[in-house]
Structure 1
C-alpha cells in the first residue's frame, strides 16, 4: 500500500483538484440548446417553379420558419453553445452582441431560454419590428449611430458588466461544425437527395458575418461535391472587393442598406477561399427581386432574400445562355413582415432613392414564360 509520504512525493503539493461550481448549470444549458435544435433545426426546402427558366429548378431553404424567424436562429444557438463550452458563459453572465437586428432577435430568445440577461448593440436604423422582437424576448437594445461603431461598443459594455461579448462577426465560422452535425449545408443536401438534380450546380447566398458561406463552402469541399458557391453582396459592402483583391483591410464609409447582409469591414468569419463566384447587387435590384420572389411565393420575404434571388437569376440566365441544366439552391433568410415600414413602404423607398422600375422589367422578362 502506498503510504502518505509516497503520495506527497508523487503528487505536487500545489495540485488542486476541483469541479466547477456551475457544472450542473452547464449541463442544463447544453440540454436546453440541444432540445431546441431537435425541435427546430431543419427547415423546409421549397421548390420554385419559374416558367422562364425551364430545366433549371430553383430551391429555397426557408430559414424564416425557425422559432425566431430567420437564418440567424442556427447561428445564435451555435454561438451560445460555443461560449458555454469554452467556459465564457455561466449562470449569471450578461451576454452582449453587436448586431444589425436578426442575430440579436435570435440571441435574445436563447438568453431568455437560459435565464441570462442580454444586451444588443445595434445601429439606430435597425427596423422597429426587430427592436420590438428583442425587447419582447427580454433583451435590451443599445443604439449607436453607425454600423461600424457596434463592435467597440459591444466589447466595452461586456467588459464593464463583467459579461461576455458573443462577437458573431469573429466566431460565426468557428462556432458551427462545418463537417456536418446537422448544419445547414448537410440539411440542404439531405433534402435534395430525391430531386431530379440532387447535387446543385450552384448554391447562392449573401454574407453578413460570412459564417454561413464559410460553412457551406467548407462542407462542399469536405464532401467533394460538384457544387459551386456564389456569394452575393449588396451596395456599400466590402466583401466583394475583398474577394476580388484578397485585401482583408478594406473598409467602407457607408453601411449596407440591405439589413442583415454586407459589412463596412471584412469580418473575420468571411472566408474568401471557399467562394467560387461573387456578384455585386444594386439595392434597387435586391428590392425588385424581393418583390418578384414574394409574388411567386404568395408571401413576403425580406430584402436579403431578394439579394439572394437576384443572384440566382443571374446564375440561371448564364446557365440558360450556355445551354446548361441543373438545380440552384438559395436561402429565404427571413420574412418580409419585419420590413413593412421600410422595404415594403413605397414612401420609404422613394426617400432612400430606390427606384425598382428598370430592374423589375428585367426580372419580369426573365422569369416570364416564353411567348
Structure 2
C-alpha cells in the first residue's frame, strides 16, 4: 500500500485572516459616505389633488469622501477581499492591475494596507499627476506604448512574477456582494429611509467596469424595489450601442474623454440585462454639468459626476412634467480638484475644441423653469 500523502497549507490562513481584518477595520473607520440633497427650485414642488404637498427630490451619493477620494475605493476593497478569500493573493503575491485611474489609486492603497507589492500597468502617455497618486499610495507604475497592450502586459507580469492580475473589468460584478453587506445600493436605501420618498423612482449611474450598475440592478430586483436603473454613457463608449443592439462584440478605436467611465469594448462586468434605460451624454454636456453643479455645491466635482447629473436632471424634468412625485439618486464619483488642469481649465477646453455654450443654455433653462430642452 502506498503511504498516505498530506499536503497542508494551513499556515497561509493566518495571513489571510489578518489581511481581511485590516481591510474590514479600514471600512469601519471610514464609516459611510454622505447622501447629499440637491436643492431644486420651487417648480419641483406642487400640491396633489388631495391637498398634499409633494414633488421631486434629487440626491447625490458623495463617494469622494472615501480615503482614496473616489467611488473606486469600494470596488478596490471588494476586489482585494475577493482575491484574498479565494486564495489568489497571499503575503508574497504581487498584485497587478491594468489601470492608470482611480481604481489603481485605491488598489495601491489596499495593497499597502495589507503589505503586498502593487503594479499598475498603463500607457507611457499617462500624466505625471496620475502616476504620482498611485506612487503616493505605494504602488509602482509600469508603462507600455499603446492602450491595447495593457491587458497582455498585465498577464505577462502575472506569469513572470507569480503575481495576481486583479482585473477590475472582469471581476467587478463578481467581487461585490450585491445582496447587501453595506454595498452602495443597501447604503443608499438605508440613508433614504426617513426622506419624503424613501424608495427612489430612479437611480442614475455611469459605467466604467459596469460593476456599480450590476450591483444596483441586481439589488433592486433582489429586494423587489419599484426603482428604475438608468446608466449614462459618454461619447466614444460602446456600452450604449451594445445595449441598443444587444451586440456585445462592438468595439471602438477611440477612448472616452470623461475619465472613469466609458469603454472602447464591452467589459465582462457590464450586465446589460439589469439596466432599464441608457442615456448617451455628449462630452460637452458632461463637462458643463460638472461645472454647473460645482458652482451650486461650492466645491468641484469630476467629469463623470457631470455625466451622471446630466442624465439625472433630464429624468427630474420628465417626472416634473408628468407630475410624478418621487426621488432621483445619482453619484458624486470623485472630486473635481483632480481635473483643475483639464475640465476646469478654459485653455485646455479650447485646445480640445470643446464649446460648453449649448449645454450651459440647457442647464440654465432647467434650473430656471424645470424644462429640459434636449431631444
TM-score range, shorter chain: over 0.9
Post-superposition CA distance 1:158-201 (Å, at most 9, x none): 22221110000000000000000110000000000000000000
Number of the residue aligned with 2:208: 208
Number of the residue aligned with 1:19: 9
Number of the residue aligned with 1:35: 25
* Counterpart-to-counterpart distance in 2, 1:124 and 1:294: 31
Number of the residue aligned with 1:325: 325
Is contact 1:289–1:310 with CA below 8 Å preserved after alignment?
yes
Partner residue of 1:49 out of 27, 34, 39: 39
Q: CA deviation at 1:123?
A: 3.7
3-state SS of the aligned residue for 1:232?
strand
Q: CA deviation at 1:143?
A: 3.0
Task: Tell which deviates more after alignment, 240-249 or 298-307.
Answer: 240-249
Q: Identify if the C-alpha distance between structure 1 residues 285 and 144 changes in structure 2 by more than 3 Å, giving closer, same or farther.
A: farther
3-state SS of the aligned residue for 2:225?
coil
Q: Identify if the C-alpha distance between structure 1 residues 145 and 366 changes in structure 2 by more than 3 Å, giving closer, same or farther.
A: farther
Is contact 2:320–2:370 with CA below 8 Å preserved after alignment?
no
* Counterpart-to-counterpart distance in 2, 1:353 and 1:154: 34
Is contact 1:178–1:219 with CA below 8 Å preserved after alignment?
yes
3-state SS of the aligned residue for 1:56?
strand
Number of the residue aligned with 1:157: 157
3-state SS of the aligned residue for 1:60?
strand
Post-superposition CA distance 1:242-301 (Å, at most 9, x none): 111111111011000101100000000000000000000000000001011101111000
Is contact 1:50–1:368 with CA below 8 Å preserved after alignment?
no
State yes or no: 1:116 paired with 2:106: no
Is contact 1:127–1:339 with CA below 8 Å preserved after alignment?
no
* Counterpart-to-counterpart distance in 2, 1:262 and 1:146: 18
Q: Identify if the C-alpha distance between structure 1 residues 160 and 39 changes in structure 2 by more than 3 Å, giving closer, same or farther.
A: same
Task: Tell which deviates more after alignment, 312-321 or 169-178.
Answer: 312-321
Q: CA deviation at 1:98?
A: 1.1
Q: CA deviation at 1:42?
A: 1.2
Q: Gaps spanning 5+ residues in structure 2: where?
A: 46-54
3-state SS of the aligned residue for 1:360?
helix
3-state SS of the aligned residue for 2:121?
strand
Q: CA deviation at 1:367?
A: 1.4
Is contact 1:93–1:164 with CA below 8 Å preserved after alignment?
yes
* Counterpart-to-counterpart distance in 2, 1:97 and 1:188: 29
Number of the residue aligned with 1:102: 102
3-state SS of the aligned residue for 2:67?
coil
* Counterpart-to-counterpart distance in 1, 2:146 and 2:290: 25
Q: How many residues align?
A: 361
* Counterpart-to-counterpart distance in 1, 2:208 and 2:191: 25
> Please, what TM-score do these two structures have when normalized by structure 1?
0.94
Is contact 2:94–2:161 with CA below 8 Å preserved after alignment?
yes
Q: CA deviation at 1:30?
A: 0.7
Q: Map 1:135-284; keep pairs closer than 5 Å.
A: 135-284=135-284
Q: CA deviation at 1:128?
A: 3.9
Post-superposition CA distance 1:7-48 (Å, at most 9, x none): x8xxx8444152333221111101001101111251000000
> Please, what TM-score do these two structures have when normalized by structure 2?
0.93
Q: CA deviation at 1:341?
A: 0.9
3-state SS of the aligned residue for 2:109?
helix
Q: Gaps spanning 5+ residues in structure 1: where?
A: 1-7
Number of the residue aligned with 1:5: none
Number of the residue aligned with 2:71: 71
Is contact 1:147–1:255 with CA below 8 Å preserved after alignment?
no
Is contact 1:146–1:255 with CA below 8 Å preserved after alignment?
no
* Counterpart-to-counterpart distance in 1, 2:146 and 2:29: 36
Number of the residue aligned with 1:346: 346
